A = this chain, B = another copy of it.
């Protein structure tokens, strides 16, 4: 039972939607962490990305990244394994992920994380 969750077709992706998903320090940290793996569970991802966020906030960010076409989520038992849709994104937006991943990392503001947590409920 894999790939049961919605993933947009890459050819339908508008740039503004991808940029909006990336325009968040926590999600940028997640994308960097996912990019460094061949697939990572959502739980492990939070640790790898150095994020101290609630499960619901991580789930919220994970959904935004998936629905904007940046990551692919595979359901594996009780785990959700995330992977970057690297080749598809590179084909649709050449150079974009490279530029984003090469940019200086930025801190994830704690207040923003708290606000997101509230909004996610």
Which residues on B sit within 8 Å (CB–CB) of A93? 99, 102-103
Is the beta-carbon distance between A96 and B100 smaller than 8 angstroms? yes
Chain B: which residue is nearest A95 at the CB level? B99
Chain B: which residue is nearest A107 at the CB level? B14
Is the beta-carbon distance between A102 and B94 smaller than 8 angstroms? yes
Number of residues from A at the complex interface, CB < 8 A: 23
User: What distance in Å separates the Cβ of A23 from its nearest Cβ neighbour in chain B?
Assistant: 4
A selection of 5 A-B contacts at a CB cut-off of 8 Å is A15-B106, A93-B102, A94-B102, A95-B98, A95-B102
A interface, CB within 8 angstroms of B: 14-17, 19-20, 22-25, 28, 92-96, 98-100, 102-104, 106
